[in-house]
């Protein structure tokens, strides 16, 4: 708000025709988004960084069945809605979803009917801003938003244990309804196995290290960080 007052003041008293962008540096809003889908349900997490470097955290629980890609799109749409409601005009969006970012950038073609609808809605919302840049980042750079998206199964240490979670009842491409819920996040037994398989990072506790080393061979980690148990006959469970 203070930054907007300063901008309005300078605009009012500058000589007509002066380019204000040469005088006032406009910092973009940054939005980190991530979606997650598993057997327990689907969720979306966003982290908004304002031009004044304030961090706003939001977590959305999807009240409908959604694939991982649909959850990623819901996260992107939720992030755009939040910054649009806050009056942002210059926006930079960061996501670790290769498919969503590539489709929005035009590098991948959307063929699935639901992906086509999501892509059209995203482009429609992007028209409400002066500029919108969307970039793909590594999953490790998006862990905060990832933690918010997977509250039901895992959470990063730096995220508060009790945060407000919004429930999205229906897909964005058909209806938009939000209900507030409060969910207390818990640690998940899979976290240590996933960290060990993905980053070769073992727990600090000696007993936990031994347990993870005994059990990690029974599991397989897919590219989207979903954990599968190996069966004796071959197929992943």
DSSP assignment string, 186-212 = ---THHHHHHHHHH----SSHHHHHHH
The pLDDT of residue 235: 73
Residue 113's domain comprises: 2-184
Calculate mean pLDDT across residues 141-163: 56
**How many domains, in total, are found in the chain?**
2
Assess whether 160 and 199 both reside in one domain: no
Domain assignment present for residue 194? The answer is yes
Assess whether 139 and 199 both reside in one domain: no
Domain assignment present for residue 87? The answer is yes
Assess whether 33 and 144 both reside in one domain: yes
d(CA 151, CA 184): 8
Domain assignment present for residue 46? The answer is yes
Residue 179, φ and ψ in degrees, nearest 5: -130, 130
Is-contact 20 10, C-beta < 8 A?
yes
Is-contact 105 122, C-beta < 8 A?
no
Where residue 176 sits, what CATH number does that domain have? Answer: 3.30.420.10
Confidence of residue 21 (pLDDT cuts 50, 70, 90): low
Is-contact 152 45, C-beta < 8 A?
no
Sign, CA torsion 59/65/68/69: negative
Domain assignment present for residue 53? The answer is yes
**CA of 230: how far to CAs of 214, 236, 237, in Å?**
14, 5, 6
Tell me: pLDDT of 229 over 80. Answer: yes
Assess whether 7 and 106 both reside in one domain: yes
Domain assignment present for residue 235? The answer is no
Assess whether 161 and 128 both reside in one domain: yes
Domain assignment present for residue 166? The answer is yes
32 DSSP β-pair partners = 47, 94
Residue in 232, 223, 162 with CA at minimum distance from that of residue 194 = 223
The pLDDT of residue 228: 83
Assess whether 19 and 34 both reside in one domain: yes
Assess whether 178 and 195 both reside in one domain: no
Domain assignment present for residue 10? The answer is yes
Burial class (CB in 10 A: 0-12, 13-18, 19+), 203: middle
The pLDDT of residue 155: 41
Assess whether 224 and 113 both reside in one domain: no
Assess whether 159 and 221 both reside in one domain: no
CB atoms within 10 A of CB 193: 18
Average model confidence (pLDDT) across the chain: 78
Question: Which residues are within 8 A (CB) of 115 and not within 5 positions of it... i.e. 6 or more apart?
Answer: 69, 73, 99, 103
Assess whether 103 and 6 both reside in one domain: yes
Domain assignment present for residue 55? The answer is yes
The pLDDT of residue 127: 93
Is-contact 77 125, C-beta < 8 A?
yes
d(CA 25, CA 66): 40
Is-contact 144 75, C-beta < 8 A?
no
Residue in 65, 84, 169, 68 with CA at minimum distance from that of residue 122 = 84
Confidence of residue 191 (pLDDT cuts 50, 70, 90): confident
Assess whether 137 and 209 both reside in one domain: no
Assess whether 209 and 104 both reside in one domain: no
């Amino acid at each position: 708000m203070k930054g907007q007052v300063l901008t309005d003041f300078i605009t009012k008293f500058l000589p007509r025709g002066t380019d204000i962008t040469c005088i006032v540096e406009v910092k973009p809003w940054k939005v980190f988004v991530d979606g997650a889908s598993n057997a327990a349900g689907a969720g979306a997490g966003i982290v908004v960084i304002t031009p004044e470097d304030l961090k706003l955290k939001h977590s959305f629980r999807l009240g409908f069945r959604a694939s991982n890609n649909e959850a990623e799109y819901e996260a992107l749409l939720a992030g755009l809605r939040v910054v649009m409601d806050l009056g942002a005009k210059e926006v930079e969006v960061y996501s670790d979803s290769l498919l969503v970012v590539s489709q929005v950038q035009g590098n991948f073609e959307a063929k699935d009917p639901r992906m086509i609808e999501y892509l059209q809605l995203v482009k429609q919302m992007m028209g409400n801003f002066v500029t919108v840049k969307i970039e793909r980042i590594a999953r490790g750079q998006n862990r905060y938003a990832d933690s918010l998206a997977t509250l039901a199964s895992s959470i990063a240490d730096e995220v508060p244990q009790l945060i407000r979670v919004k429930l999205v009842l229906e897909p964005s491409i058909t209806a938009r309804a939000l209900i507030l819920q409060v969910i207390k996040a818990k640690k998940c037994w899979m976290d240590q196995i996933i960290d060990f398989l993905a980053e070769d990072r073992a727990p600090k506790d000696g007993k936990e290290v031994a347990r993870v080393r005994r059990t990690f061979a029974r599991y397989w980690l897919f590219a989207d960080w979903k954990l599968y148990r190996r069966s004796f006959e071959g197929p992943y469970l």
